[in-house]
Amino acid sequence: MTVPALRSTTTKLAIVGAGAVGSTLAYAALMRGTARTVALLDVNRQKVEAEVLDLQHGMMFIPPAEIVGSDDVEVCRGADVVVITAGAKQQPGQTRLDLAEATIGLTKKILPGLLDVAPDAIYIMVTNPVDIVTYAAQKISGLPRERVFGSGTVLDSSRLRAALALHCGVAVGNVHAYIAGEHGDSEIVLWSSATIGGVPLLEWKALPGRGELGETERAAIAHEVVDSAYRIIAGKGATNYAVGLASTRIIEAVLKNEHRVLTVSSRLDDYYGVTDVCLSVPSVVDRRGVPEVLRVPLSDAEIAGLTASAESMKAVQKRFGL
């Protein structure tokens, strides 16, 4: 009797950049059992080896996995998902767009080698400014649009839901609301499609002892979401915990083929008139990457905001010859 060969279900995640975001992402992925192998790549050999050693010392406390690291791109060979976190560090007072030139240059340098060792991987860009970097990575790689996308406003949407839940006195899991557009200053909240426990957010009546959720309150929450990253950077130098968790959630949607709806950044084609620019909108994420974007209902104001966000991105693309 011939025994059929077992199909390998081993998964490999490669993380490029062992800085605050990359190392935190590796930690979160290992804690959640996201992949069987986690590989860290960084030009600083001493740093990446130290991060790997530190993570290895906790292996008995997490789901079975292997953690490896190197300054040689070979460590990424055969990866199912490659996440790029390496880039110029955002300084206090700097906008994400201020980082564009240095980070695009780095992306041009590292992508060819990654494509050689992981030609079939899904590529997820986390480096800021993520929308511009994602667009550049698509151009440089020549890969289909669905296989190269950015973390986008997944974290921003999480920040929004957390703020709304706190304000309204409900669990975060009962809040469904998205932020779309740029991961940055021109992002917009999709208030018209948001719900809390099935109640349209624009019709929400305050619970006893809780504040109202009128236009003024919504504007304050939206400002808090946009401003929060700057406050974190000013206080501790980098954002890393929440972005590590958000990125891990995206990776799991790919590796586990979840068909999960997330606001990742991908190249749009006539999305309410927006074309040839990477922006975040609710999208299906699965083993194929981002095969579909959802055409959620938008108000006239939201369409105008999305269009303005797209024009902002296109101006930067033009500046860098993209």
Structure tokens at 48: 């990446």
Q: Of residues 57, 167, 183, 259, which has the active-site annotation?
A: 183
Using DSSP, state whether 125 is helix, strand or coil.
strand
Q: What does the alpha-carbon distance between residue 313 and residue 129 come to, in Å, rounded to a whole number?
A: 10
223 is catalytic: no
Helix H or strand E segment including 20? helix 20-32
Helices (H), 57-153: 100-117, 130-141
Q: What does the alpha-carbon distance between residue 321 and residue 311 come to, in Å, rounded to a whole number?
A: 15
Nearest to 183 by CA among 309, 16, 17: 309
b vs e for 79-117, b when ≥16 Cβ sit within 10 Å of the residue's Cβ? Answer: bbbbbbbbbbebeeeeebbebbeebbebbeebbeebbeb
Q: What does the alpha-carbon distance between residue 71 and residue 52 come to, in Å, rounded to a whole number?
A: 12
For residue 137, CA distances in Å to 4, 46, 84, 130, 318 come to 40, 28, 10, 10, 15
Helix H or strand E segment including 196? strand 195-196
For residue 283, CA distances in Å to 174, 289, 293 come to 20, 10, 4
Q: What does the alpha-carbon distance between residue 186 and residue 90 come to, in Å, rounded to a whole number?
A: 18
Q: Are 165 and 174 in contact (CB under 8 A)?
A: yes
What DSSP line would sit under 277-293, residue for residue? Answer: EEEE--EEEETTEEEEE
Q: Are 149 and 262 in contact (CB under 8 A)?
A: no
Active site residues: 183
